[in-house]
Amino acid sequence: MKSKKKANVEANRTKHVNFSLNEKEYAFICAYIKKYKIENRSRWLRETIISNILKNLDQDYPTLFDENEMRR
């Protein structure tokens, strides 16, 4: 079992990602955050991005047969 100290070190977020939005995109995100009362915007963005990546990876998982062969 991991010690608390080691677990905290692994959870430290030291890498930063910056991206730009236009006014409409930013307003859309702000309205969503306000509507759903999201208190931690950073966590929400991180979870949203990572969940989308995981979903895409799951869909792109290699299979034994092509999609057309499986539909026959």
Do residues 70 and 63 touch, judged by C-beta distance below 8 A?
A: yes
Q: How far is CA 11 from the centre of its chain?
A: 16
Do residues 44 and 38 touch, judged by C-beta distance below 8 A?
A: yes
What's the pLDDT at 47?
96
- Interval 5-63: pLDDT, tens: 666 666 888 999 999 999 999 999 999 999 999 999 999 999 999 999 999 988 887 77
What's the pLDDT at 22?
98
Whole-structure pTM value? 0.68
Dist. CA 54–CA 57, nearest whole Å: 5
What's the pLDDT at 3?
59
